[in-house]
C-alpha cells in the first residue's frame, strides 16, 4: 500500500505540472523549445533527467555490485560531454538558435544530411520511447503488483498527457521534479545500505580484505583499456549525435545559461553515481551472491528499506524512466513536424503547427505503447542498437561542423555513410575486443570526413561566415 501511495502521488505531481505549464503554450516554439525561456535550473533538470534512465539506476547499481570501483569508468563519458558543452558546445549551438539537430545539419551541410538525420532520429526516438515505457511499467509492476499491460497504459498515459499539454516547458519542469525524486531515492538507499555495512571506511576495509579487486580502478583486469575507452567515447563523443540531449540547449534563455547549466549538471551527476556506487559496495558485503545485475537494486530495496522509503526509491527509478521517455517522445513529435512536415509545407500557420505537434506526439506515444505491449524484446534490441548507429552517423559531423571550416557537404555525407556501415559491421561481428561500435565508427567516419572534404570543393563562403564569422561568436 505504501508503494502505491508514493507512486500515485508522484504520477499526480507530474500531471499537475503539465496542467499548470500548459497555460503558457501559445505557439509551436513554446511547445518545441519552451519559447527559448528556460533558465539554469530547468536546463540542469532537463538534461540530467533525460540522460539518467531506469537503466542508469538499476543497471549501473548491479554493474558496480559485480565489479566495484572499476565500473565507475562508465560515467566518465557523460562527465566529458558536460565539460565540453560547458566550455564550448552549448553556447555555440544556442547561438545558432534553431529548433532541431537536423536544422543545424541542413544549414551546415545541406538538406540531404538533414533528411537522413531526421529519419534516423525519428526511428530512434520512437523505439527509445517504447524502451523507457518498458522500464516504467516494470517498476510499477514490481512495486505495486499491477498487471503489465495495465502498467504500460498507466505510465504511457501519464507522460503522454503532460508532454502533449506543455511540450518542452512541461518536460523540463517535470524533469526537475524527477531529478529531485531520483536523487532523494538513491541517497536513501545509499545511506541505509552504508549504515548497515558499518560506514564508508569499514566497507573499504572489508573489501580490501575480501574483494581487493573492487578497489582496483581496473577491476583486477576486467576493465581493459578498450572497454574504458569505449565507455568514454560512447557517451563522451556519442552524446553529440543524440538529438534528445543536444537540442536541449536551444531552449535556454541565453548561450551563457546553456553553458553554465552544463557546468552544474556535471556536478549533479556526482550526486547520482557516488551513492549508487556506495549502495552497490555495501550490498556486495551485506548480500553477496545476488544473481543477475538487474536484481540487485530491487533486492536491496526489499531487504533494507521500510515500505515508505522503498516507495520513494521505486518512485526515483520510475522518475528516471518517465523523464527520459517524455524527452524522447517530445523529440520524436518535434522531429516529424519540424523536419518533415514543415519542410514540405513551410507556410503552415503557427496555430496549425502547434496542433499538429500535439496530435503527432500523441500518436507516436500511442504507437510506443503498442510496441511495448506486443514486441518488448524487439523494441529493446532495436533501441540498444540505435544508440550506436545514431552516434556513429551524427556525432563527428556535429562536432566538426563547429571546429573545422573545411568540412563540407560531400565529406559529411561520406562520414555518415561510413559511420553507419562501421557500426552495423561491428554489431555483426559481435563487438570485437569488447569495443562498443561507436569507437571504431568515430575513427572511420572522421577519416572519411577529412579525406572526402579535402578532395572536394570547400563549403560556400556564406556557410563559413555563418558558423565561423564574427556573428557566430556574439
Between CA 12 and CA 223 the distance in angstroms is 42
Q: Which residues contact 465 (CB under 8 A, 6 or more apart)?
A: 471
Quote the pLDDT of residue 292.
Answer: 82
Q: What percent of the chain has pLDDT over 70?
A: 97
Residue 179: all three cell numbers together? 531529478
Quote the pLDDT of residue 376.
Answer: 58
pLDDT above 80: residue 175: yes
**Average pLDDT estimate for 189-206:** 96
pLDDT tens digits for range 73-88: 888 888 899 999 999 9
Quote the pLDDT of residue 391.
Answer: 87
Quote the pLDDT of residue 56.
Answer: 81
Angle at which helix 148-196 crosses helix 111-144, to 10 degrees, equals 70
Position 245 confidence tier, pLDDT thresholds 50, 70, 90: confident
Position 471 confidence tier, pLDDT thresholds 50, 70, 90: low
Quote the pLDDT of residue 377.
Answer: 58
pLDDT tens digits for range 289-345: 888 887 888 889 989 999 999 999 999 988 988 898 899 999 999 999 999 999 999
pLDDT above 90: residue 95: yes
Quote the pLDDT of residue 383.
Answer: 62
Helix (H, G, I), strand (E, B) or coil at 38: strand
Average pLDDT, the chain: 90
pLDDT above 70: residue 472: no
Of 10-24, 34-48, 122-136, 369-383, which range is least confident?
A: 369-383
**Average pLDDT estimate for 135-156:** 85
**Average pLDDT estimate for 31-40:** 95
Between CA 422 and CA 427 the distance in angstroms is 9
**Average pLDDT estimate for 181-210:** 96
pTM score, two decimals?
A: 0.91
**Average pLDDT estimate for 32-50:** 95
Position 230 confidence tier, pLDDT thresholds 50, 70, 90: confident
pLDDT above 90: residue 163: yes
H or E, element range at 345: none
Quote the pLDDT of residue 4.
Answer: 87
Quote the pLDDT of residue 439.
Answer: 87
**Average pLDDT estimate for 134-139:** 81
pLDDT above 90: residue 366: yes
| Burial label, 456 (beta-carbon count in 10 A; 0-12, 13-18, 19+) | middle
Between CA 6 and CA 305 the distance in angstroms is 14
Buried b (16+ CB within 10 A) or exposed e, 189-205: bbebbbebbeeeeebee
H or E, element range at 101: helix 101-108
For the chain, helix, strand, coil in percent to 5 are 85, 0, 15
pLDDT above 60: residue 379: no
Between CA 449 and CA 118 the distance in angstroms is 20
Between CA 365 and CA 370 the distance in angstroms is 9
pLDDT above 70: residue 378: no
Which of the listed ranges 49-53, 225-229, 421-425, 428-432 does the model predict with the highest average pLDDT?
421-425
Q: What percent of the chain has pLDDT over 90?
A: 64
Tally of helices (H runs) and strands (E runs) in the chain: 22, 0
Amino acid at each position: 500500500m505504501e508503494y502505491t501511495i508514493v507512486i500515485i502521488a508522484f504520477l499526480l505531481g507530474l500531471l499537475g505540472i503539465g496542467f499548470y505549464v500548459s497555460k503558457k503554450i501559445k505557439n509551436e516554439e513554446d511547445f518545441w523549445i519552451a519559447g527559448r525561456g528556460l533558465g539554469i535550473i530547468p536546463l540542469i533538470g532537463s538534461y540530467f533527467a533525460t540522460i539518467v534512465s531506469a537503466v542508469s539506476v538499476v543497471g549501473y547499481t548491479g554493474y558496480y555490485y559485480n565489479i566495484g570501483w572499476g565500473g565507475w569508468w562508465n560515467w566518465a563519458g557523460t562527465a566529458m560531454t558536460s565539460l565540453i558543452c560547458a566550455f564550448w558546445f552549448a553556447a555555440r549551438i544556442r547561438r545558432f538558435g534553431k529548433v532541431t539537430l537536423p536544422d543545424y545539419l541542413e544549414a551546415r551541410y545541406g538538406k540531404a544530411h538533414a533528411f537522413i538525420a531526421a529519419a534516423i532520429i525519428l526511428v530512434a526516438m520512437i523505439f527509445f520511447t517504447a524502451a523507457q515505457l518498458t522500464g516504467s511499467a516494470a517498476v510499477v509492476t514490481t512495486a505495486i503488483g499491477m498487471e503489465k499491460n495495465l502498467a504500460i497504459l498507466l505510465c504511457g498515459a501519464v507522460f503522454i498527457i503532460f508532454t502533449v499539454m506543455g511540450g518542452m516547458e512541461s518536460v523540463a519542469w517535470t524533469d526537475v521534479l524527477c531529478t529531485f525524486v531520483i536523487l532523494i531515492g538513491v541517497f536513501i538507499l545509499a545511506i541505509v545500505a552504508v549504515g548497515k555495512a558499518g560506514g564508508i571506511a569499514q566497507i573499504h576495509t572489508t573489501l580490501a580484505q575480501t574483494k581487493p579487486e573492487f578497489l582496483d580502478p581496473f577491476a583486477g583486469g576486467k576493465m581493459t583499456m578498450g572497454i574504458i575507452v569505449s565507455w568514454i567515447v560512447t557517451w563522451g563523443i556519442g552524446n553529440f549525435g543524440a538529438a534528445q540531449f543536444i537540442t536541449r540547449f536551444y531552449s535556454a534563455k541565453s548561450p551563457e545559461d546553456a553553458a553554465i547549466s552544463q557546468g552544474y549538471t556535471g556536478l549533479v551527476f556526482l550526486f547520482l553515481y557516488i551513492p549508487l556506487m556506495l549502495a552497490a559496495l555495501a550490498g556486495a558485503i551485506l548480500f553477496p551472491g545476488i544473481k543477475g545485475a538487474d536484481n540487485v537494486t530491487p533486492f536491496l530495496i526489499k531487504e533494507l528499506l521500510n515500505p515508505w522509503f522503498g516507495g520513494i526509491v521505486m518512485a526515483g527509478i520510475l522518475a528516471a524512466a518517465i523523464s527520459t521517455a517524455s524527452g524522447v517522445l517530445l523529440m520524436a513529435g518535434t522531429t516529424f513536424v519540424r523536419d518533415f512536415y514543415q519542410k514540405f509545407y513551410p507556410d503552415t500557420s503557427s496555430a496549425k503547427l502547434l496542433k499538429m505537434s500535439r496530435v503527432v506526439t500523441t500518436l507516436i506515444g500511442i504507437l510506443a505503447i503498442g510496441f511495448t505491449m506486443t514486441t518488448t524484446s524487439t523494441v529493446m534490441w532495436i533501441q540498444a542498437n540505435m544508440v550506436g548507429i545514431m552516434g556513429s552517423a551524427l556525432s563527428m559531423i556535429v562536432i566538426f561542423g563547429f571546429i573545422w571550416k573545411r568540412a563540407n557537404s560531400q565529406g559529411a555525407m561520406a562520414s555518415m555513410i561510413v559511420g553507419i556501415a562501421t557500426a552495423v559491421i561491428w554489431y555483426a561481428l559481435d563487438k570485437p575486443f569488447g569495443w562498443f561500435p561507436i569507437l571504431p565508427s568515430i575513427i572511420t567516419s572522421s577519416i572519411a570526413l577529412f579525406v572526402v572534404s579535402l578532395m572536394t570543393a570547400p563549403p560556400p563562403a556564406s556557410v563559413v561566415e555563418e558558423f565561423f564569422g564574427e556573428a557566430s561568436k556574439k
